[in-house]
Amino acid sequence: MGWLPWSSGAEPNKASDGGRIAPDRTSRKRCWEGRDLFFACLDRNDILDGIKDDKEARRKCAKEVEEFEAACSATWVKYFKEKRVMEYNRDQTIARIKKEDAATVQELKSQGRSTN
């Protein structure tokens, strides 16, 4: 996939003692920037799930997805896309619970008033 500048050859990210060199601070930053640009594009096009709606995302955000995938490893790309959906659902749930709580409080208050 060639996701890092020094990873184009055969296992060039292999450390001399057999380990696999991880992305450093600079490449992490580049990956996160690519991710943020891609997600901003998805937001503009009302796409939530970059995996499920892969085709549409690739069509509408062709440049962004290319840069994102070039800057991050495939597992990271998948991870961030899944995380975006997960976080969206989480925020929706929190918002829903808050709304329900507020409604319950309102209802209890009005009940309290009518009985008094």
Partner 1 sequence: MSSSLRMAGLLGQATRAIAVPESSQSHRLLPLLRTTSRSQCRAYSQAQRPRCNQNIKSALELRNNFSTSASYARAKTMGQLKQRNSTGPFSWKAALLFVLTGAGMMIYFRVEKARLERKRIAEMSKGVGKPKVGGPFTLKDLDGKEFTAEDLKGKYSFVYFGFTHCPDICPDELDKMAEIIDKVREVTKDDKLFLPVFITCDPARDSPEVLREYLKEFHPGIIGLTGTYEQVKNVCKQYRVYFSTPRDVKAGEDYLVDHSIYFYLMDPDNDFVECIGRQDTPESASKVILEHINDWKREGKPLKLE
Can you give the binding site for partner 1, defined by CB under 8 A? 11, 15-25, 28, 31-32, 72-76, 79-80
Residue closer to partner 1, measured from CB, 20 or 113? 20
Minimum Å distance from CB 68 to partner 1? 13
Residue closer to partner 1, measured from CB, 62 or 74? 74
Contact in structure between 47 and 64 (CB atoms under 8 Å): no
Euclidean distance between the first and the last CA atom of the chain, given in angstroms as a whole number: 70
Minimum Å distance from CB 51 to partner 1? 15
Residue closer to partner 1, measured from CB, 15 or 112? 15
Residue closer to partner 1, measured from CB, 66 or 87? 87
Tokens of 62: 């062709």
Contact in structure between 25 and 61 (CB atoms under 8 Å): no
71: exposed, middle or buried (C-beta count within 10 Å: 0-12, 13-18, 19+)?
Answer: buried
Minimum Å distance from CB 109 to partner 1? 31
Q: Which residues contact 23 (CB under 8 A, 6 or more apart)?
A: 4, 31, 73
Minimum Å distance from CB 3 to partner 1? 9
